[in-house]
Chains A and B, each alone.
Chain A
Amino acid sequence: METLLRLLQQDSTVSREDLARQLNLSVDEVGRRIAELEQNGVIRGYQAIVDRERFDKNTVTAFIEVRITPERGGGFDRIAERIAKFDQVVSCYLISGGYDLLVVVQGTSLREVASFVSEKLSTIESVISTATLFRLKTYKENGALLTAETAEDRLAVSP
């Protein structure tokens, strides 16, 4: 299961036939295991890894550190889930350190992200403060290096 999951994390487009050959399983068994991983919520979806800058130079990603007042009974969960529901929020994590939440926001312009922070995020009652860090360049995304190393020239046949 572990290996299957790793393979899918590296490339979810790999065919079930290829997975079966690598894992020494039948195609049906691979299908059954993937279905199981999907049903019990281990696999939450399949996405492409995108280098946005190649597509649209104006895309803005911001990492927003948010301090919030935890609620009696609910802790950080209710407010974090509320923030996570905004479409602009790509990821939202509870973190240790000086801040409580790390919120990753994507927008089509600086202004759009700035207004999301000032109008939506900062105005939530239990939010004490925010610090917005804009992404300048991406070097690695979900395990994929975006500045690829050039393949070295190997000998075509060697002992």
Chain B
Amino acid sequence: MNDKIAAHVRDIPRSGIRDFFEIVQSMHDVISLGIGEPDFVTPWHIREAALFSLEKGRTGYTSNLGLPKLREAIANYVARKFHVQYHAPSEVLVSVGVSEAIDIALRALLNPGDEVLYHEPCYVSYNPSVTLAHGKAVSVPVHEKDNFQLRADELEKRITPKSKILLLNFPTNPTGATMPRKALEPIAELCVKHDLIVLSDEIYAELTYDGAEHVSIATLPGMRERTVFLHGLSKGWAMTGFRIGYACAPAPLIEAMMKIHQYAILCAPTMTQDAAIEALDHGDAAVAHMREKYELRRNFIVSALNDMGLPCPLPRGAFYVFVDIRPTGLTSREFSLRLLEEHKVAVVPGTAFGKDGEGFVRCSYATSLEQIKIAMERMAGFVQHVSRRAA
């Protein structure tokens, strides 16, 4: 059967995370810092809104673009929080998670061979999503010394006449990097200069720390008309299983994305769209509460990592620390496998997020402080053990 599989699908390598997941699954008593979703259960008032929706018998399809009332809530929220205005009836599309929105945006924009620039290490789906849309994925490395921020000179070096899209994800999974306005400005200028469309995945926008303000690239001069603003409820509101994401973009692009969405997906689930309205209109306090919890855990985990001889600066967004494990002399994979097998702590090797992730592991702090505490104790023991051997 293998010869029947389309070549561009067959050639996509297995996800490094899946690989690791299967090993973890086979073990007992593992503390996992490998989880890329909130540990909180969705706030009750949001779950209750989903129940109410079912109670009222709202079980049919919605408009392909999503419930008008939800699109209105999205436009209001984006204007209120990120200071970008979108026309709800024509510039907002509700998708099944941000992943779907990225997929349909890429498919709506790419002709075969068009190039998509993205910063790496990055979320696992970007590169394959580009390939599946018959584009060519071009990675731009980001470095720890720059706090994993994207540098304009690194980007410009890789722009060619075929470059069409820049894919951004700040705050970043897996590095926790954020891009302040000053760092975004030269990137935006390059996009205008080279006529690039930006797909900006801002799923972690609510989760920034130390008072860092989240700036959307769509707010910078000349950017709104070339940006697809992508966001969703999964992370900030702890609603991963609800599968609600959205795209805001100029009307012709939303219309093109809608063509794919309507034939592939039809619409996002109705009861979770109803829940999303509640989340956007009345969820600020719950989001702030969870954000504070993450910030405290981040402080804890970073302080513990520093104490065990794996110095890392405080990441300012998302819920990940991308830990430099080079002082141990181990590769990402060796480190992760041995930590798992010898000390029952799961982290994700940095290489799962691109080859530039070598020398790093991703620790998620979307897990309870009690678990983090035990994990850090075990990890400290491991690091001490391997460092002594290395010395």
Contact of B15 (CB < 8 Å), options: A7, A22, A155, A159: A159
**Given A22-B297, A159-B123 in contact, is the A154-B17 Cβ separation under 8 Å?**
no
B386 interfacial contact with A, CB 8 Å: no
What residues on B are CB-neighbors of A125 within 8 Å?
none
Q: Give every chain A residue within 8 A of B297 (Cβ-Cβ).
A: 22
B37 is contacted by which of A18, A22, A24, A158 (Cβ under 8 Å)?
A: A158
CB-contact partner of A22 in B20, B30, B125, B296, under 8 A: B296
- Is A85 located at the chain interface by the 8 A CB criterion? no
B66 within 8 A of A: no
Is there a chain B Cβ closer than 8 Å to A141's Cβ? no
Question: In the complex, what distance in Å separates the CA atom of A22 from the CA atom of B20?
Answer: 29
Structural contact, B30 and A156, CB atoms closer than 8 A: yes
A156 touches B296 (CB 8 A): no
Interface size of B by CB at 8 A reads 30
Besides A156-B24, A158-B34, 12 new A-B residue pairs in contact (Cβ under 8 A), listed by A number: A3-B292, A6-B292, A22-B297, A152-B41, A157-B17, A157-B32, A158-B35, A158-B36, A159-B36, A159-B124, A159-B173, A159-B352
Q: Which residues of chain B are within 8 angstroms of A24 by Cβ–Cβ distance? A: 299, 303
B332 to chain A, nearest CB (A): 14
Contact A157 B299 (CB under 8 A): no
Instruction: Encode contact with A along B16-57: 1 for CB under 8 Å, 0 otherwise.
Output: 010011001100001010111101010000000000000000
Interface size on A, residues (CB 8 A): 16
For A6, the chain B residues whose CB sits under 8 A away are 292
B382 within 8 A of A: no
Q: Which of B35, B292, B300 touches A155 (beta carbons < 8 Å)?
A: B35
B residues in contact with A157, CB < 8 Å: 17, 20-21, 24, 32, 34-35, 346, 348
Asked if B260 is at the interface (CB within 8 A of a chain A CB), the reply is: no
Flag if B17 contacts A158 (CB, 8 Å). Answer: yes
Q: Closest residue of chain A to B26, judged by CB?
A: A156
Complex Cα spacing A24 to B21, Å? 33
Task: Using known A-B contacts A18-B369, A22-B297, determine if residue A158 contacts B21 with beta carbons closer than 8 Å.
Answer: yes
CA distance A63 to B41 in the complex (A): 32
Is B304 part of the contact surface with A, judged by Cβ < 8 Å?
Answer: yes
Q: Which residue of B lies closest to A2 (CB)?
A: B292
Taking a contact as CB atoms closer than 8 A, the residue among B24, B25, B41 that contacts A149 in the complex is B41
The 6 lowest CB-CB distance pairs between A and B, nearest first, are: A157-B34, A22-B296, A157-B21, A156-B24, A21-B300, A21-B303
Q: How far is the CB of A158 from chain B (nearest CB, A)?
A: 5
Query: Is B326 on the interface with A (CB-CB < 8 A)?
Result: no
Residue of A nearest to B39 (CB): A154
Q: How distant is the Cα of A95 from the Cα of B378 in the complex, in angstroms?
A: 52
Residues of B in contact with A (beta carbons under 8 Å apart): 15, 17, 20-21, 24-25, 30, 32, 34-37, 39, 41, 123-125, 173, 292, 296-297, 299-300, 303-304, 346, 348, 352, 369, 373
CA distance A154 to B173 in the complex (A): 18
Please determine whether A156 and B41 come into contact, CB atoms closer than 8 angstroms: no
Beta-carbon contact of B17 and A159 below 8 Å: yes
A23 an interface residue at 8 Å Cβ cutoff? Answer: yes
Q: Are B296 and A7 in contact, with the CB atoms below 8 A? A: yes
Whether A22 lies near B21 (C-beta < 8 A) is no
Q: Which residues of B contact A156 (CB under 8 A)?
A: 21, 24-25, 30, 32, 34-35, 346
A3 to B173, CA, bound (A): 27
Residues of B within 8 A of A18 (CB): 300, 369, 373
> What separation, in Å, do the CA atoms of A159 and B297 have in the docked complex?
20
| A–B complex contacts, Cβ < 8 Å, 24 sampled | A3-B292, A18-B369, A18-B373, A21-B299, A21-B303, A21-B304, A22-B296, A22-B299, A23-B299, A149-B41, A154-B35, A155-B21, A156-B25, A156-B32, A156-B35, A156-B346, A157-B35, A157-B346, A158-B17, A158-B34, A158-B35, A158-B36, A158-B37, A159-B125
8 Å CB interface, A17-71 against B: 18, 21-24
Tell me the nearest residue of chain A to B123, going by C-beta. Answer: A159
Closest residue to A24 on the B side, CB-wise?
Answer: B299
CB distance from B73 to the nearest CB of A (A): 26
**Docked pose: A22 CA to B300 CA in angstroms:** 5
Shortest Cβ distance from B74 into chain A, in angstroms? 24
With a cutoff of 8 Å between Cβ atoms, the chain A residues found around residue B173 in the complex are: 159
Give the complex CA separation of A158 and B240 in angstroms.
11
How far, in angstroms, from A8 to B305 measured CA to CA in the complex?
Answer: 24
Nearest A-chain residue to B125, judged by Cβ: A159
Select the residue from A6, A7, A18, A155 with max chain B CB neighbours within 10 A: A155
Bound complex: CA A86 to CA B63 (Å): 63
For residue A145, which residue of chain B has the nearest CB?
B44
**Contact between B36 and A22 (Cβ–Cβ < 8 Å)?**
no
Q: Given the complex, which residues of B lie within 8 Å of A7, measured CB to CB?
A: 296
Give, as a whole number of angstroms, the nearest-CB distance from A151 to chain B.
Answer: 9
Closest chain A residue to B27, Cβ basis: A156
Assembled-state Cα–Cα distance A123/B199 (Å): 74
- With a 10 A CB-CB cut-off, give which of A6, A7, A154, A156 has the most chain B CB atoms: A156
Task: Determine which residue in B124, B303, B304 has the highest number of CB atoms from chain A within 10 A of its CB, and name it.
Answer: B303
